[in-house]
Amino acid sequence: DDLIKGKPTTPPGKDKKKDEPVVDEVATGILGGAVAGEKYAIDVGICDYPGSVNDICVSDGDAQNMNNALINIYGYNSENIILLRDMNATYNNILSAVDEVRASVTVDDEVVFFFSGHGTTARVNDGDREKIDEGLVTHNGTNMQYIWDGQLKMWFSDFSTSRIAFVFD
């Protein structure tokens, strides 16, 4: 219990059936701390979106900086990091990276998903019950495509490990 960090996602209370505290999801561990298994990461940075209207000047550098920090500060093996920047950071490539990491991860591993780029909100049917959903703005090389929060949750829901950190910039 001393490794559990974060706050409960539901109001404090008791489960009436079990007379236990209600705590839904919390993060475990400390990023870069001792891990029994391997450390994996997906670093995504989009500065150069299709066209020029939506370009951001530093987001792809953010992903490179996170990549360097994971290797040099947190002890990640560069072979376990997928770095996707600009035109390589398509919706399909991000989904493929998630699938590739999922296939490698065991219960003892740690995973970081980092995204730097545009975000958005909208009313979409993405598998959750939110009225307004948040999304990551990606692309397919020509047009904008979105990864909605419900989709992202679904993509990571069947990972073998519960030690997953999401970082959005």
Label residue 10 by pLDDT band (50, 70, 90): very low
Q: How many residues does the chain have?
A: 169
Label residue 28 by pLDDT band (50, 70, 90): low
Label residue 58 by pLDDT band (50, 70, 90): low
- The reported pLDDT for the residue numbered 67 is 95
Residue pair 136/64 in contact (Cβ under 8 Å)? The answer is no
Residue pair 153/128 in contact (Cβ under 8 Å)? The answer is yes
Residue pair 166/113 in contact (Cβ under 8 Å)? The answer is yes
- Of 96, 123, 122, give the one whose Cα is nearest residue 42: 96
Q: The pTM is what?
A: 0.78
Asked if the model's pLDDT at residue 164 lies above 70, the reply is: yes
Asked if the model's pLDDT at residue 159 lies above 90, the reply is: yes
Token pair for residue 19?
Answer: 């007379």
